[in-house]
Chains A and B, each alone.
Chain A
Amino acid sequence: MWRDAVLVAGKDLRIEARSRVATNQVAPFAVLVLVLFAVALDADRRVLEQAAAGLLWVAVLLSTLLAVHRAQGVESAEGTGDALRLSGLDPAGIFLGKAAAVAVQLLALEVLLGVGVVVLYDIDPAGLGTLALTAGAATVGLAAAGTLYGVLATRSRVRETLLPLLLLPVVAPVLIAATRASEAALAGDPLGAAPQWLGLLGVFAVMYVGFGVVAFGPLMEEA
């Protein structure tokens, strides 16, 4: 299972490295979202500073939709999905591989967005350890849930509109918990609230990785 996961993740990341869709389209889109938030909020420094954590994670969520789309898109073109099914790879491995590839892209994107928030919204980076843990746990959850719902919505002509409707209510806890944990980290965590939110992120991540490993096989067979 692990070997298959590494293979699939390597394949997806190679495709992304060569096609440059993630770097040329998804990353600029995410930064653009940050700029749009500033425009919408009238570039008020205080408002931006207060809302920075939430805006960052909304930008991550929107980018997750694109990344998941892309990850499923490469499997629906030219019968590659069928080839993957016929390859004899363990479905759980395929799930873990695809989720890992999405997670790697999201982590890179979060670093970029973090720098963007520091530069554009004038945030003093603090509590980097907590921020890193938050990003890690949230990313695993987002990538796992995204990959699972991606395959659920795949092969349908309404995929573009169905995926956000399915995925966004599900990842709402990630948005809430990641935002609160990041806010706490940036403020130096005076109330000691970060561990609670990190725990919730961890539970979500473990839950969706587990669901994916179990459910990906049956979902792939039918698609």
Chain B
Amino acid sequence: MTNRTGTASALTLSLGLAAALALAGTVALGLTLPATVEQGEYSRLIAIHPGLAWASYLAFGVTAAASALWLWPRTRSSRWDLLAGSSAEIGVVFTALTLATGSIWGRPTWGVWWVWDARLTLSALMLALYLGYLALRRVPAPVDVRARRSAIAALLAVAVVPVNHFAVEWWRTLHQGRSLAQTTPGNDLDGIFVGVMLLGFLAMTLVYCWLLVHRVRVARLEDRLDEQSLAVALDERRREAVLAP
């Protein structure tokens, strides 16, 4: 494991295959969903949009948990720091995709690309929050300093999400309620839609896991490269010293 130079393994291969299968199924089933009366062709976005949103929450949750594990002295290990950073990166991508697919859906349905409804505003704030977190991680610092700083920032970020939630929720509410809460009888989300949506959740979760394993391994390789280049530089300087008269 420590001498690995690539990021592929049996685990990523099987995760990747499962993710590809689930995604292919989601796309195939999503495209064959019937167009609904109210939303027309765009209702099919339900196959991927809620799944993307779920994966972004999962990613930020993992970041928070890994950060807490790093801060807890008994479980402190650089692997939690790498996991937190990698997960946040993927979470940012999923949040951006959530906003993009939501916009594509909102344009024909609400008539505008963007409305200032509670959940959109919250997602946009969350995106900004974690972009800040990633920017903080890029600030050059010793590994331990970076880890502590990032872990505290991640916990602060996750703590402010509920406050943001209440603020924007009271501020305005237009978004339809939570997707799964709408599956009560008599609702227009019928079985096939729910099934495809749940498959979308599974697919996005698998994609997230697959990306995460690869990203953590890349981060570990980056750290190793840093260490090695330092050792190589030291070695060169020593040789120069020997050569010098």
Chain A: residues with CB nearer than 8 A to chain B? Answer: 148-149, 152-153, 156, 158, 162, 165-166, 168-170, 172-173, 176-177, 180, 196-197, 200, 203-204, 207, 211, 215, 218-219, 222
Contact = CB atoms under 8 A, between A and B. Distances in A.
Interface of A is mostly: helix
Contacts of A173: 160, 163-164, 166-167
B21 interface: no
B35 to A, nearest CB: 37
A173 B122 CA distance: 10
B167 A218 contact: no
Nearest to A221: B148
Contacts of A196: 170
Interface string B98-141: 00000000000000000000000000011011011101100111
A51 to B, nearest CB: 15
B136 A162 contact: yes
B153 interface: yes
B164 A158 contact: no
Nearest to B129: A169
B128 A165 contact: yes
Contacts of A165: 128, 131-132, 135
A166 B170 CA distance: 24
Given A156-B139, A170-B160, A173-B160, A200 B167 contact: yes
A110 B199 CA distance: 52
A166 to B, nearest CB: 4
B214 interface: no
B156 interface: yes
Contacts of B136: 152-153, 162, 166
A219 B152 contact: yes
A162 B135 contact: yes
Given A162-B136, A170-B156, A172-B125, A218 B164 contact: no
Interface of B is mostly: helix
Contacts of A218: 148, 152
By Cβ-Cβ distance, the 4 closest A-B pairs, closest first, are A173-B167, A169-B128, A166-B132, A156-B139
B15 to A, nearest CB: 32
A156 B141 CA distance: 9
Given A168-B128, A169-B129, A173-B163, A219 B171 contact: no
Contacts of B132: 162, 165-166, 169
Contacts of B167: 172-173, 176-177, 200
A222 B153 contact: no
B220 interface: no
B153 A166 contact: yes
A211 B145 contact: no
B152 A207 contact: no
26 contacts: A149-B156, A152-B136, A152-B153, A153-B139, A158-B139, A162-B132, A162-B136, A162-B139, A166-B136, A169-B125, A169-B128, A169-B129, A169-B160, A172-B125, A172-B167, A173-B166, A176-B171, A180-B171, A200-B167, A203-B163, A207-B163, A215-B156, A218-B148, A222-B141, A222-B145, A222-B149
B31 interface: no
Contacts of B164: 169, 172-173
